[in-house]
Structure 1
Amino acid sequence: MSASCCNSACAPQTTLSPGYRKALWIALIVNVIMFAIEIGGGLKSGSVSLFADAVDFAGDAANYGISLAVLSMGLAWKSRAALMKGASMVAFGLFILGKTGWAAFCGLPPEPSIMGAIAVLALIANGGVALMLYAFRKGDANMRSVWLCSRNDAIGNIAVMAAAAGVLGTGTAWPDLAVALLMGGLALFSGISVIGHARLELLEEAV
């Protein structure tokens, strides 16, 4: 019980810190830029995993914007925002899983050199964002969702790099599809986790 009370009492102070606000703005800008780069790369290379990562960048940019919008609000509003973000993560995961299944029947092997180059650039961008947000990963549900987004992105970038190597080595699309499947599953699991945390906070707030 004391842990729950501490989270409710302490989270607003951490969330309102200038460092956290600045980190969110930087994360928002980085995600918008990388979405534009990756969506172009995904379309040009024909990579499902790169396209999935691009869509994820767009979703994260929206999530960071929502986080900034509720930064000065109470815990209940932050928890509601986390519910929205968790639902978007679940929707993203389901979308990618469906697109991966479709590509398994219709897709051709993607261009691995484009995949690898853009994945390295994205990893550098996401690695910097994840380092900035690491200190805020144990706040309220809203802050936790922001951290999970940045962590998932970095994992996804490494996976896309591995997929590019796999496509180059095998000459097939299966490594790309496998990584897209992994990214969709990770987004689905993380979204469910965020929704559960947010619902618990809302229940505690109501009580």
Structure 2
Amino acid sequence: MACCEPELDKQAPVAYRNALIAVLAINLVMFGVEAAVGLFSGSRALRADALDFLGDAATYGLTLWALGQSLTWRFRAARIKGFSLLLLGLLVLADSLVSLITGAAPPGVMMSGIGALALVANLTSLMLLVRYRQGDANIRSAWLCTRNDVLANISVIVAGLLVLASGSHWPDVLVAMAIAGLFCHSAVSILRQANAEQRAGQRDGPGPGGDGCGPAR
């Protein structure tokens, strides 16, 4: 990997920006759809997945901004994304715990239907970003978010079918808690990589532009 830049070919920066803009738009649209349906249906899993789309949109926006920035600001952007994902995970977990007492079974068909729509959106995003899955903490965070979304969407679809079959709200709550776990796991992974890259940069000294640049990972 070139110093301070993702492992991309010469044409990739423009292509990568375009891919990020596309997935940013997809995530904002799906956040609106899932948030509205989640509030209407009372599904904690759909609310959690909606927050996932919102968090991803913020991640893609920060990744776009960080491209071409100094290494110091790239570290800061990665940390902001990591701590934001951790906060979202804790919020989803708190909402899930509340629903253990007050929650009712949401419409299973609606859950699975919206989950399937979200899956199509995230598979499209995954295809757009798959060539850029390797790189620094900022590049990797965008890939991790999209990959986790696909797993979350499949879980929502399965939860909707289980709610439909059982009439219980437990599958909905458990999937929401699992999504919260994905948030937290990704946050820790991003923060660890950002910290490791910063330590490597400080150890190897400043690059040509005056910022410490670590070796390729």
Do Structure 1 and Structure 2 share a fold, with TM-score over 0.5?
Answer: yes
| Runs of 4+ with deviation above 3 angstroms | 6-10, 12-16
2:60 paired residue number: 64
1:11 paired residue number: 6
1:136-163 per-residue CA deviation (whole Å, 9 max, x = no partner) reads 1110010010000101111110000000
2:190 paired residue number: 194
User: Which of these residues, 155, 160, 163, is aligned with residue 164 of structure 1?
Assistant: 160
Kindly state the Cα deviation for residue 7 of structure 1 after the two structures are TM-superposed: 6.0
Alignment CA distance shift 1:85-1:10 (3 Å): closer
Give the helix-richer structure, 1 or 2: 1
Residues in 1 aligned to 2:163 and 2:182: alpha-carbon distance in whole angstroms: 21
Alignment CA distance shift 1:9-1:51 (3 Å): closer
1:61-97 per-residue CA deviation (whole Å, 9 max, x = no partner) reads 1111111111111333222211110111111111111
User: Which of these residues, 129, 133, 146, is aligned with residue 133 of structure 1?
Assistant: 129
- Residue type matched to 1:134 in 2? V
- Contact 2:82–2:187 under 8 Å retained in 1: yes
- Residue type matched to 1:106 in 2? T
Note if 1:181 corresponds to 2:181. no
- Contact 1:8–1:140 under 8 Å retained in 2: no
Residues in 2 aligned to 1:7 and 1:82: alpha-carbon distance in whole angstroms: 18
Larger radius of gyration between Structure 1 and Structure 2: 2
Contiguous gaps of at least 5 residues in structure 2: 204-217
Residues in 2 aligned to 1:146 and 1:7: alpha-carbon distance in whole angstroms: 19
- TM (norm. structure 2) is 0.89
Alignment CA distance shift 1:160-1:66 (3 Å): same
- Residue type matched to 1:163 in 2? A
Aligned-residue sequence identity (percent) comes to 40
- TM (norm. structure 1) is 0.93
- Residue type matched to 1:127 in 2? L
How many residue pairs were aligned? 202
1:3 paired residue number: none
- Contact 2:8–2:132 under 8 Å retained in 1: no
Residues in 1 aligned to 2:197 and 2:184: alpha-carbon distance in whole angstroms: 20
- Contact 1:39–1:54 under 8 Å retained in 2: yes
Secondary structure of the structure 1 residue equivalent to 2:68: coil
1:84-143 per-residue CA deviation (whole Å, 9 max, x = no partner) reads 101111111111111111101111100111111111111000001011111111100100
Note if 1:80 corresponds to 2:105. no
Residues in 2 aligned to 1:27 and 1:45: alpha-carbon distance in whole angstroms: 26
User: Which of these residues, 29, 42, 60, is aligned with residue 25 of structure 2?
Assistant: 29
Residues in 2 aligned to 1:137 and 1:17: alpha-carbon distance in whole angstroms: 14
Alignment CA distance shift 1:204-1:88 (3 Å): same
